[in-house]
A and B are shown apart, each in its own frame.
Chain A
Amino acid sequence: MSEPRSKKPLPRPTPETQHFWDGTLAGELRLQRCEDCSKVYFPPRPFCPACASRSVEMFTASGLGTLHSYVINQRAMPDSGFEAPYSIAVIELDEGPRMMTNIVDSPQTPEALVLDMPVEVTFEKLSDDIALPLFRPKAAPSDAAGPRGAS
Chain B
Amino acid sequence: MTRTRVAIVGAAETTELGKIPDLSVIGLHADAALNALTDAGLRPSDIDGVATAGESPTSIAHYLGITPSWVDGTTVGGCSFMLHVRHAAAAIEAGLCSTVLITHGESGKSRVGAGGFNRPAASLSGQFEAPFGPMGAPTMFTIPVLRYMKDLDLSIEKLANVAVVQRRWASKNPRASFRDPITVDDVLNSRMIAYPFRLLMCCLVTDGGGALILTSAERASDFPTRPVYILGGGESTETPMVSQMEDLTTSKAFRVSGQKAFESSGISHADVDHLMIYDAFAHLPIYGLEDLGFVERGEAGDFIWDGHTDEGGSLPMNTNGGGLSYMHSGMYGMYALQESVRQMRGTAPAQIDGAQISVCHGVGGMFGASGTIVMTNQPS
Contact = CB atoms under 8 A, between A and B. Distances in A.
Given A71-B194, A71-B196, A74-B192, A8 B133 contact: yes
A111 B135 CA distance: 23
Contacts of B145: 69, 71
A73 interface: yes
A99 B194 contact: no
A74 B139 CA distance: 9
B130 interface: yes
A10 to B, nearest CB: 6
A110 B195 contact: yes
A68 interface: yes
Contact of A80 (B122, B135, B193, B248): B135
Given A88-B134, A99-B243, A72 B128 contact: no
B143 interface: yes
Nearest to B147: A69
Interface in B6-25: none
Interface residues of A, number: 40
Residue among B120, B127, B130 facing the most chain A CB atoms (10 A cut-off): B127
A64 interface: no
Interface in A6-38: 8-14, 17, 21
B136 to A, nearest CB: 9
B142 interface: yes
A8 B120 CA distance: 14
Contacts of A125: none
A70 interface: yes
Contacts of B126: 9, 11-12
Nearest to A77: B135
Interface in B216-264: 241-244, 248
A100 interface: yes
30 contacts: A8-B131, A8-B133, A9-B126, A12-B120, A12-B126, A17-B127, A21-B127, A43-B244, A69-B143, A69-B144, A69-B147, A69-B248, A70-B146, A71-B143, A71-B196, A72-B194, A72-B195, A73-B135, A74-B191, A74-B193, A74-B195, A81-B133, A82-B135, A88-B140, A90-B147, A98-B243, A98-B244, A99-B243, A130-B131, A132-B131
Interface of B: 120-122, 124, 126-135, 139-140, 142-147, 150, 191-197, 241-244, 248
